[in-house]
Structure 1
Amino acid sequence: MTDAARPGSVLVVGGGVAGFAAVRELRRRGFEGELTLVDPEGLPYDRPPLSKEFLTGDADAHRLLLAPPAWFAEHRVALVARRVERLELDDDARPRAVLDDGAVLTADAVVLAPGGRPRPLAVPGGDHLDVAVLRTRADAERLAARLHVGARVTVIGGGFTGAEVASAARAALAEVTLVSASAAPALAAVGPALAARLHGMHAAHGVDVLEGAVTGIDHADAADSAADVPHTVHVRRPDGSETSVTADLVVAAVGIVPDTALAEAAGLAVDGGILVDAAGRTSHPAVFAAGDAVRRRRTDTVPAHAARHWEPALHSGQDVAAAILGEDVSDRGAPWFWSDRHGVHVEGVGLMLPVPGGRIVDRSVRGTVVASFALDAAGRMTGAASVDDPMAVKAARRIIDRGIVVDPDRLADPDVPVKALLRG
C-alpha cells in the first residue's frame, strides 16, 4: 500500500491486550497518522492477572498496565476515557463513533476490540447484583476486598477463572465451595489425565468441590441485618438429588461471551462473534476487529472456532495493524495459554481434543501426570499441556508448528526431554 492509500487516522475501541496491540503495532510499523484509543477505563491494562496475582495481592494496579502513561504521549496516542455508545457507518462517509458524553470521533479506519463480557448465570437469582463476576479491575478490587479469613465463598464454574478464584480465596483462608458442572472441567484444554489432576488439587487444598448444575440462588433481604445466610445456592447433583450451599459471597465464573453489541447495532456481520477474515476485516471495509469479540470466517460463509486466550488476542491486534497498513499478516503457530492455581503453573498449546484415529499420550513422574500430548492418526502432535514445565510446552509448540511425527514411547518417557523430539 502506498503512503497515499494508507489511512490518515485510526480509531481503536477497547483497551485490552488486542486494542493496545493494534495501537502499538501501528506505530511500530511506521504509521504516522492520527491514532486514538477509546476505553472507559482509561489506560490499557492486562486482564489475565486479575484472577491470579492481582486477586491475591501479589500485583498492584500499576503492574497491570500494558504501557506506562508516558508511552502514549511519546507515541502520540490520544487516550479517551469514555464509552462508545454507537458506531455510525455510512457508505459515503468516514466511520463515526458517538461517545457517551455526546462527542463524535471520526477516523478513516476503526478497530473494534471490545473483548468479552461475563456469561450470564441463567438461573433464578443468578442476575442479582450481589453475585460477583470477574472481568475488570474494578470487579477484582471488589472481590479481593471480600476474600478474608472465614468468609464463606461459593464459586460457580470450574474452568480456569473459577479455579483461579477458588485458589485465591483459599489463599485468603476463606471457606470455599466450588460448584462445577463437570468432573474434569479443563479436559478440552489439557486432556483427561491432567484435567483430573488439576481438579483434584481443589480438595487437596481445602476446597469443597461439588459437582452439579446450579438451579437457583436465594438472596436474603439486604434490609434484614439479622440474616445469617446472605445467599443460598441450590445445586442438582448428577444423580438427580438436590443440595444447597450457604455463602457470604457468590462468584459466577461460567465463561465469557463476545461483546458484539456495538458491532450488531452498526450492522456488521455477527455470528457467535464479530465475523472477520484472517486479517481482521469485518463486513465493512473501514472497520476491523480483534480480540475475544471476534470469530474468524473459515470460508466466506462458514465461521470457524474462536480461540479466546491472551496470546490469540495479542496476535489478532497485531494482524489488524498490518492489514490496515496493507502489509502481510504473519503466519501464526498453535495458540498458547497459561493458568495458575494452588501454587502450580499450567501451560498449554494447540488442541488437546483427540482427532479421529489419534490418541493422548501422558507423561508421568512417580505416578503423577506432569504433561499430556495429543497426537493425530499419523503421529503428528496437535496439542500439549504441562504442569510446572513451560520448557516442555515451548518445545512441543515447535514440534506442532513443524508437523513433526513423534515416537509415542519416547514422548511418554520423562527422561527424554521434549526438545529432543524436535529431531523426529
Structure 2
Amino acid sequence: MTVSSVLVVGGGIAGVSTVAELRKNGYAGELTLISADALPYDRPPLSKEYLAGGRDLESIVLQPKQWYADQEISLVGGAAAVAIRPAAGEVELADGRVLTADKIVLATGGRAVLPAVAQVRRDVSVGLPVSNGQNRPVVPDRSPIHVLREVADADRLRTQLVPGARLLIVGAGLIGAEVASTARGLGAEVVLVDPLSPPLAAAVGIEAARWLHGLHAAHGVEALTTTVETVLETSTGVAVQLKGEPDSREFDAVLLAVGLVPETGLAEAAGLETSRGILVDAGQVTSHPSVLAVGDCARLRDHHRAEHWEAAQLDGARATATILETEPPPVTAPWWWSDRYGLHVEGVGEMRSPDAEHQTVVRGTLGEPPFSVFTLRGEQVIGAVAVDDPAAAKTARRLIDRGVDVRPADLADPTQNLRTLLRR
C-alpha cells in the first residue's frame, strides 16, 4: 500500500532519526512527531557536559526548531500520547486530540529503573514517597533521591553537586561512572556501589573493566562492591545502610543508576506483543503490521534489547526502509562510547574472556592510554574496546563486519597501521 502519512510517538534519538531518514530518503507524505519535550534533545550529555554546567539545553537539542519546519515535519511538542488504536491508525493525546496516520512508529524509549531500595522509609517530617508503586519515579523537587533520564533530572541533581556534597551512586555502569566523574569535577564527595566486581566486564572484558573501575579510586571516589540494604530519608539528607557495614552512612543525595525499563504501556494497552520490550521483526514491525517500534522500547525477537545511541539511530533507518519498501541498512557490529575522567572509551562487537575458543589481544599497554583490547575467535576479531584510540575502534568494527582474518601479532603491534589489515 502507498503510505501517505506517518506518525512517530517519541522525541528521542530513535524518533528524530526516523523522521529525518524518511525525509532524507524521499518520503513526501504527511509526517508528524509527538514529543513530550517542547524540542527533542540528546541524552548522553545529561551525565556529562550538561550536568557539569558546560552546555545548556539549547546546545543539546537534536535539531533546531526551524529544521522541523524546513523538513515539513509537524512537531507536536509538550504532548503525551495516552492511547494508540492500530486498526484505525489513531493516536490519542492527553489533551483529547486524536491524530491519524497510515503508519504509527513507537519510539517511546524507557524510564529509569527504581530498585526495591527506592521504596525508602522517610522521616515523618519529610513529604511524599519517591515511588508510586508502579516502578515510575515520582521525585519531589527537593528530594535527595535522584534518577537521571531527563533534563529535569539533571537540573535537580546539579543543584546538589556542590563542593563537599556527599553523593551516593547506586550502580557503576556507564551512567553511574560518568556521573561519578562529573560529580568529582564539581567537588562532590562520591561513594559508588555496585554488586559486580568489576562492573562492565561483560561489555569491555575483564582486564579493561578492572582498569576502568580502578580509575574511580584514582580520582578520589570510594568504589565499593556491595549493595544497599535500607535508605532512610531524613530532614537533613539520607541515611543509607550498606550491606556488610555495621553503621549507616549519611549522604546529601543518592543517585539510582541501575538501568532502564522500556516504555511498553501504549503497546500493551493496544494489544501488541511485548516481552522485555515491544517485540519487532528485522524491519522494526510489531505484531500489528501498521505499527513499528524503534529505540529503547523495541526488542528484536530472540535477541537482547539494545540501549545504545547508535542502535536507536539505526532502528530509525530500518523502519524507514520498511515504510518506503527499500533496502535496509547493512547489519553492523554494535558500537557505543563513554567518557570518564577525561578519557574517551569506545566499544564494538562482543567481548569475551579467554577460553578454548577466544583469545584476548592488547594493543599498546593496558592502563596507559591510548590502548585497545581485542577479542578474537580463531583469527577473526569479534569485539574491541579502545581507550583514547577511536581509530582502533573504527577499524575493529570494519574487521568484524567484513570477517577479515588477522594475525594476533599484527593487532598487538602498535607500529602496525590497523587499516592495512582490512586489505588482506
TM-score, normalization: structure 1? 0.91
The answer to whether the aligner puts 1:22 opposite 2:18 as a matched pair is yes
Counterpart Cα distance in 2 of 1:353 and 1:414: 22
Counterpart Cα distance in 2 of 1:196 and 1:175: 22
User: Shift of the alpha carbon at 1:389?
Assistant: 0.6
Q: Which runs of 5+ in 2 are unaligned?
A: 122-128, 131-138
Counterpart Cα distance in 1 of 2:207 and 2:372: 9
Counterparts of 1:293-312 in structure 2, within 5 Å, are: 293-297=297-301, 303-312=302-311
Match of 1:334 in 2: 333
Match of 2:361 in 1: 361
Counterpart Cα distance in 1 of 2:40 and 2:320: 17
Counterparts of 1:191-210 in structure 2, within 5 Å, are: 191-210=205-224
The answer to whether the aligner puts 1:125 opposite 2:120 as a matched pair is yes
Can you list the C-alpha shifts for 1:87-109, whole angstroms capped at 9, x where unaligned? 1233xxx3211111111111111
Residue of structure 1 aligned with 2:167, choices 126, 129, 153? 153
Q: 1:88 to 1:356 in 2, by over 3 A?
A: farther
Q: Which runs of 5+ in 1 are unaligned?
A: 298-302
The answer to whether the aligner puts 1:184 opposite 2:221 as a matched pair is no
Other structure's SS at 1:374 match: strand
Match of 2:376 in 1: 375
Counterpart Cα distance in 2 of 1:33 and 1:325: 11
Counterparts of 1:79-228 in structure 2, within 5 Å, are: 79-81=75-77, 82-90=79-87, 94-123=88-117, 124-125=119-120, 128=130, 129=139, 130=143, 131-220=145-234, 222=235, 227=236
Counterpart Cα distance in 1 of 2:398 and 2:407: 16
Counterpart Cα distance in 2 of 1:78 and 1:125: 42
Root mean square deviation, CA, Å: 1.7
Match of 2:276 in 1: 272
Residue of structure 1 aligned with 2:261, choices 236, 257, 263? 257
Misfit runs of 4+, over 4 Å: none
Can you list the C-alpha shifts for 1:328-348, whole angstroms capped at 9, x where unaligned? 211121011100001100011
Q: Is the 8 A contact 2:191 2:223 kept in 1?
A: yes
Look up the equivalent residue of 2:391 and give its one-letter code.
M
Of all paired residues, the percent bearing the same amino acid is 47
Counterpart Cα distance in 2 of 1:282 and 1:367: 44
The answer to whether the aligner puts 1:232 opposite 2:239 as a matched pair is yes
Q: 1:367 to 1:345 in 2, by over 3 A?
A: closer
User: Shift of the alpha carbon at 1:254?
Assistant: 0.4
User: Shift of the alpha carbon at 1:66?
Assistant: 1.1
Q: 1:242 to 1:383 in 2, by over 3 A?
A: farther
Q: 1:243 to 1:178 in 2, by over 3 A?
A: farther
Match of 1:321 in 2: 320
Q: Is the 8 A contact 1:96 1:105 kept in 2?
A: yes
Can you list the C-alpha shifts for 1:266-325, whole angstroms capped at 9, x where unaligned? 11010111110111000001000000111102xxxxx21222100010000111012111
User: Shift of the alpha carbon at 1:356?
Assistant: 6.0
TM-score, normalization: structure 2? 0.91
Counterpart Cα distance in 2 of 1:26 and 1:170: 42
Counterpart Cα distance in 1 of 2:65 and 2:331: 30
Match of 1:41 in 2: 37
Counterpart Cα distance in 1 of 2:257 and 2:394: 29
Q: Which one is further off, 36-45 or 382-391?
A: 36-45
Other structure's SS at 1:102 match: coil
User: Shift of the alpha carbon at 1:353?
Assistant: 2.8
Look up the equivalent residue of 1:190 and give its one-letter code.
V
Other structure's SS at 1:292 match: helix
Can you list the C-alpha shifts for 1:89-134, whole angstroms capped at 9, x where unaligned? 33xxx32111111111111110000111111121241973331011
Q: 1:243 to 1:270 in 2, by over 3 A?
A: farther
Counterpart Cα distance in 1 of 2:219 and 2:82: 45
User: Shift of the alpha carbon at 1:7?
Assistant: 1.2
